[in-house]
Amino acid sequence: MAPAGTKPARCPGGTVSELNRILISHGRKTSWMQSILVLDQMQEVRVQPDVYTCSSAINSCQLGAWQMALQCFDRLSQTVLPNPVVYTTLMMAFSKHGEWQQALFLFHSLVVQQIQTDTILHSAAVKACEDGSQWQVALRILHDLSKQTLLPDTAFLNSAISACEKSDQGEAWAWGLELLRCLWHWVLLPDAISFSAAISACEKAFQWPAALLLLADVQSCSLELDIILCNAALSSCSKGPAQ
- The residues spanned by each domain of the chain are 1-82, 92-151, 153-243
- Which are the contacts of 111, defined by CB distance < 8 A and separation ≥ 6? 117, 144
Q: Give this prediction's pTM.
A: 0.83
Say if CB 57 and CB 39 are below 8 A apart. yes
Q: Which residues of the chain have pLDDT under 70?
A: 1-14, 26-31, 224-243
Q: Look at residue 230 in the predicted model and tell me its pLDDT.
A: 66
Say if CB 95 and CB 111 are below 8 A apart. no
Q: Look at residue 228 in the predicted model and tell me its pLDDT.
A: 60
Say if CB 215 and CB 204 are below 8 A apart. no
Query: Apex CA 33: angle with CA 32 and CA 37, to 5°?
Result: 115
Q: Look at residue 109 in the predicted model and tell me its pLDDT.
A: 96
Say if CB 186 and CB 146 are below 8 A apart. no
Q: Look at residue 45 in the predicted model and tell me its pLDDT.
A: 83
Could you tell me the sign of the dihedral formed by the alpha carbons of 39, 45, 48, 52, in that order? Answer: negative
**pLDDT tens per residue, range 57-74:** 888 888 778 898 998 899
- Which are the contacts of 62, defined by CB distance < 8 A and separation ≥ 6? 32, 68, 69, 89, 92, 93, 96, 97
Q: CA separation (Å) from 91 to 83, 124, 172?
A: 13, 7, 25
